[in-house]
Amino acid sequence: MQNKPIAEHIDRLWERALPEGGFSAKIGGNYRPDSTAWAILALSAAGIKNDHIEPSRARLADSQLKDGRVCALPELPDTYWPTPLAILAWQGSQYQREARSRAVEFLIHTTGLHWKRRDDSPVANDPSIQGWSWIANTHSWVEPTALSLIALQSAGYGTHKRANEATHMIMDRQLSHGGWNYGNTVVFDQELRPMPENTGMALNALAGRVSEEKVIRSLHYLESQIKQLRTPLSLGWSLLGLGAWRKRPDHAKKRILESLELQKIYGDYDTSLLSLLILSFFLNGGITLET
């Protein structure tokens, strides 16, 4: 099924698997929940049998805290941003339904910090719209909100009010000239610049939730950028974002393999980046549509 070049990279991914389940960020590294979730997503998309993936899903469940959150480090519970990744990684597992439900409950009952925008605020976006933050007690940003929205949709919560408000929040952070960045639009009257990775994530999350007309400038922005992109985070998310809107460019797989080849220059990508490229190799659409 797999062609040889991508199979080699999947083998490289397996080299980060830990004997007790789970994955590290690099060969010889320590267990990381986010690396584990990303590896599971990539291996699932590559058609690896569930039996081989379940030990990693179980390790991910072992690192879940009681209230459902999954943290970058369990001893730092504020770092709950890997929770939506865990929800996606547990999708399709008959053994992790309870863990997944608790993670979904955690997301639904968790927000970033929100407040009514002051008239004299130098920041143009509306901070009252609820989304999700990277870290507890901070603002909501595009990336964790987009990932959480993708996760909720995958878990069947796409019509939940939090999903709807997240859609609203991401739309509020869309730059007027098209695209998204980490989550600020205009500061002191200057519109900030878009970034491909954030734009790809936002477009992936919004697919099927808003009309194409409302994101057309962002699609155009990403289509204009894609030819220049070769680094894994930007390329991977841009392909997923465009794919979610059925606009995946020609030769996408070739581009992904070229990006993977850059490891010969830069050294091994960490597990999340390697997994993102493998995932985007196998998914013609966005994450929600096909996982």
Nearer to other proteins, 133 or 174 (CB): 133
Nearest CA among 262, 267, 271 for reference residue 26: 271
Helix (H, G, I), strand (E, B) or coil at 158: coil
The one segment of 62-70, 165-173, 214-222, 265-273 that binds other proteins by CB under 8 A: 265-273
Encoding tokens for residue 52?
């081989």
> Between the CA of residue 189 and those of 102, 112, 143, 194, 195, what are the distances in Å?
42, 24, 23, 16, 19
Helices 196-206, 161-172: axis angle to 10 degrees equals 140
Residues 6+ apart with CB under 8 A from 231: 259, 262
Interaction of residue 188 with other proteins, rule CB under 8 A: yes
The least distance separating other proteins from the CB of residue 52, rounded to whole angstroms, comes to: 26
Contact 95, 85 (CB under 8 A): no
Interaction of residue 135 with other proteins, rule CB under 8 A: yes
Sole binder of other proteins in the list 52, 113, 121, 164 (CB under 8 A): 113
Question: What CA–CA distance (Å, rounded) separates 196 from 218?
Answer: 10
The one segment of 5-13, 39-47, 97-105, 128-136 that binds other proteins by CB under 8 A: 128-136
Binding mask 69-98 for other proteins (x = CB under 8 A): ---xx--x-xx-x-----------------
Sole binder of other proteins in the list 80, 134, 221, 282 (CB under 8 A): 134
| Strand 186-187 relative to strand 190-191, pairing | antiparallel
Interaction of residue 196 with other proteins, rule CB under 8 A: yes
Contact 42, 274 (CB under 8 A): yes
Nearer to other proteins, 54 or 172 (CB): 172
How many amino acids of this chain bind other proteins (CB under 8 A)?
41
The least distance separating other proteins from the CB of residue 143, rounded to whole angstroms, comes to: 7
The least distance separating other proteins from the CB of residue 186, rounded to whole angstroms, comes to: 10
Chain position carrying tokens 């009252």: 128
Question: What CA–CA distance (Å, rounded) separates 151 from 148?
Answer: 5
Residues that bind other proteins (CB under 8 A): 25, 29-30, 34, 72-73, 76, 78-79, 81, 113, 122, 133-135, 137-139, 141, 143, 181-182, 187-190, 192-193, 195-198, 229-234, 265-266, 270
